[in-house]
Amino acid sequence: MNDEANDDETAESVLRPFEARELPPLPPIEPSKVVPEPPALEEEHVDEPVAEAIIPPPPPVEALEDDPWSPDADGSTADSDLADCDGLDESTDSDTGTDFDHDDEPNEIVAGAADVPAETITLPRKPFLVGLGVLLGAVALLAVLWQSGGNGGDTTEVAQNPERIADDVAPADSDATPVEDNAEPADNIDDGAAEALAEARAEIASLEFEVEALEERPAPALDGELLRRIVVGADAKFVSALPDSVAVVGAFGGVSLIDPDTNRVVANGNVANGATRVMRTDTSVWLTNYADNQLLRVDPQTNEVAASFPFPGPDGIDKDGNTIIVASFDGEFVARVDPGSGEILQQVDVGGTPTEVVSHVDHGLWAAVFDTGELVEIDRDSFEILRRVTVGQGPVGLYASRSHIWAANHEEGTIVKVDPETAEVVWTVSVGDGPTELVVNSGSVWVTVTDDGNLVQVSAANGSILSSTPLGGANAGGGPTGISFADNTLWVAMQGEQSVVRIDLPS
């Protein structure tokens, strides 16, 4: 019982939950705003047909052959004086027999006729009616011509249905000009088509609003309950995980081993002056000691350095079969090394400074060349360069999944998906300032964005940002750097904070 109590006390000393000051809560995400449906277009209905103006036709030309101005033999006019024009409301032309009803005519047409003095010369009745008819016809003709000027010359429709013209006239701020009915213009459509068009426009406007809202909304963070911080004895820069053991190395050569079952640090030590990468295998922990130009192998059972081999400026390291592949940043080559003797078995110049190497199951070896912005494919048998792929500025992180090669461009803030079959870039996505390493699991790419202090989750299919979780450290010149995955758990090394973040992903 005492041993178990001691174990629990030790575990609590190295296992800390995230503190609020280190992981400030994200601001609440506002719920999506519901866009109100746009008001339906109201259809205009004409309850009653507009009464058509009745314009009396002008009298026949033959009626003008008689001289209306000739006096009678006694010197009087041919017709009685027109002293009172009210009698014209319902009159009959004695020659033509046509009834004239002037109730619909403007009052101004006959206004003032009754004011004609009796002693003045009056006009004969018949010529006056003829002149009045001609005048009314001229006024009507001018009205028709004026209306037809805004209707493409369609004078017939103006005369017959003036309200139809008002519906077809374009708005004042529009450049469109109504056209004839037989041209079927877009604005002259039936009610059903107009309603469908309005609904489509409203749907488009709604979708555009939702897209803009989604683009402006920040990616959500992971649930804080999934994250735990484990304090280690030295700085933490890179991490390599197996299901039963996690190895962490710091920039100044400190090494820590973590038991994932208990989250306890089971070993601490300082074995190098300037370590860069770490690789955990079933039997060993490999370190690249850049400052001392060494490869180091640590025995995880005794927690001691089992072997050290000279190697110029080592950086990235990976396992390939029974050998290890190492990138020489200073020597500008990639080499295959015998893990027992440290002998360089094969090497190839890559034409720049390689930072990371990975071994792909079906497509040879790949190296990231920092200064040229390329990935180079190396034949694992002949150790010759097969292809080069330009991926961006400053690639430092590589990962080989079953179907693709993934790279993190530290200098330009992007990650890249490369098809190893065609050696072509599938997509490039911006993730923030200073991405360093990445891993791929279950359709997601997990990227440590060091300068922003974030862990970013990206869709492996289309490159969309799924989540962005602040881990801190960026303000102090550190931040998340190395990342590894094992047994459905992410392990993130926090440079400058002497800690590793454990993230248990949902099953």
> Which two structure tokens, joined as six digits, stand for 493?
């090394």
| Same domain, yes or no: 116 and 230 | no
Q: Is residue 284's pLDDT more than 90?
A: yes
Q: Is residue 36's pLDDT more than 90?
A: no
| Same domain, yes or no: 109 and 84 | yes
276: Cβ contacts below 8 Å, ≥ 6 apart: 237, 238, 288, 289, 290, 314, 315
* 443-461 tens-digit pLDDT: 999 999 999 999 999 999 9
| Same domain, yes or no: 210 and 320 | no
Question: Are 485 and 476 in contact, with CB atoms under 8 Å apart?
Answer: no
Cα gap 114→110, rounded to integer Å: 9
* 66-77 tens-digit pLDDT: 444 444 444 444
Long-range (24+ apart) CB contacts under 8 A made by 319-325 are 319/279, 319/281, 319/359, 320/359, 320/365, 320/380, 324/279, 324/286, 324/295, 325/357, 325/359, 325/365
> Does residue 51 lie in a domain region?
no
* 410-425 tens-digit pLDDT: 999 999 999 999 999 9
| Same domain, yes or no: 207 and 244 | no
pTM for the model stands at: 0.61
Q: Is residue 217's pLDDT more than 70?
A: yes
Q: Is residue 9's pLDDT more than 80?
A: no
> Does residue 39 lie in a domain region?
no
> How many domains is the chain partitioned into structurally?
3
105: Cβ contacts below 8 Å, ≥ 6 apart: 136
> Does residue 35 lie in a domain region?
no
Reduced to 3 states (helix: H, G, I; strand: E, B; else coil), residue 28 is coil
> Does residue 75 lie in a domain region?
yes
Q: How far is CA 171 from CA 168, 184, 224, 275, 283, in A?
A: 9, 18, 57, 74, 82
Cα gap 138→258, rounded to integer Å: 105
Q: What percent of the chain has pLDDT over 70?
A: 63
Q: Is residue 268's pLDDT more than 60?
A: yes
Which residues are 348's β-sheet partners?
334
What pLDDT is attached to residue 435?
98
Enclosing domain of residue 83: 61-149
| Closest to 444 (Cα-Cα) out of 429, 431, 427, 457 | 457
CATH code at position 322: 2.130.10.10
| Same domain, yes or no: 251 and 203 | no
> Does residue 168 lie in a domain region?
no
| Same domain, yes or no: 359 and 331 | yes
Element holding 207 (H helix, E strand): helix 191-216
> Does residue 23 lie in a domain region?
no
Q: Which of 199, 217, 235 is the last residue of a domain?
A: 217
> Does residue 9 lie in a domain region?
no
> Does residue 271 lie in a domain region?
yes
Per-position b or e across 442-454, b if 16+ CB within 10 A of its CB: eebbbbbbbbbbb
| Same domain, yes or no: 213 and 334 | no
| Same domain, yes or no: 133 and 194 | no
| Same domain, yes or no: 464 and 495 | yes
| Same domain, yes or no: 257 and 197 | no
* 303-339 tens-digit pLDDT: 889 999 999 999 999 999 999 999 999 999 999 999 9
Cα gap 183→191, rounded to integer Å: 18
What pLDDT is attached to residue 364?
95
| Same domain, yes or no: 232 and 95 | no
Q: Which of 195-199, 204-208, 250-254 has the highest mean pLDDT?
A: 250-254
| Same domain, yes or no: 195 and 271 | no
* 71-111 tens-digit pLDDT: 444 444 444 343 343 443 444 444 444 443 444 444 443 33
Question: Are 396 and 412 in contact, with CB atoms under 8 Å apart?
Answer: no
Cα gap 446→485, rounded to integer Å: 10
What pLDDT is attached to residue 333?
98
For residue 270, name the pLDDT band (cuts at 50, 70, 90): confident
